Amino acid sequence: MKTPATFYHAGCPVCVEAERQIADALDPTRYDVELVHLGEHGDRIAAAEAAGVKSVPAIVINGAPFHINFGAPISALKS
C-alpha cells in the first residue's frame, strides 16, 4: 500500500516551485500524492492545521508536516 502524502499550497510562486520540485519528485511507486489548494478548498484548512501545518507550501507525509520554504501563513488563507 502506498503512503499518502498531502501537499498543501495556495498557488503562490513559492508553492508552485515546491510542487514542481518536491511534490512531483516523490517516488510514485511508494507515495500517493494529493495536491490541495487551500485557497480554493477552505474546508481542508482545519485538517491541515490539525496535522500541524502553519504555512504553505507544506507536505504532510505519514501525518508529519514538512514546511517547504515559506509562501504564506495559513491564517492568510482564512476568509
Q: Applying CB under 8 A, what is the total number of residues that bind a second copy?
A: 22
Q: Which amino acid is at 75?
A: S
CA triple 65-26-41, angle to 5 deg:
55
Tell me which residues in 2-31 interact with a second copy (CB under 8 A): 3, 5, 17-18, 21-22, 25-31
Whether 3 and 62 have beta carbons less than 8 Å apart is answered as yes
Q: Does 64 bind a second copy (CB under 8 A)?
A: yes
Which parts of this chain interact with a second copy (CB under 8 A)? 3, 5, 17-18, 21-22, 25-31, 59, 61-62, 64-69
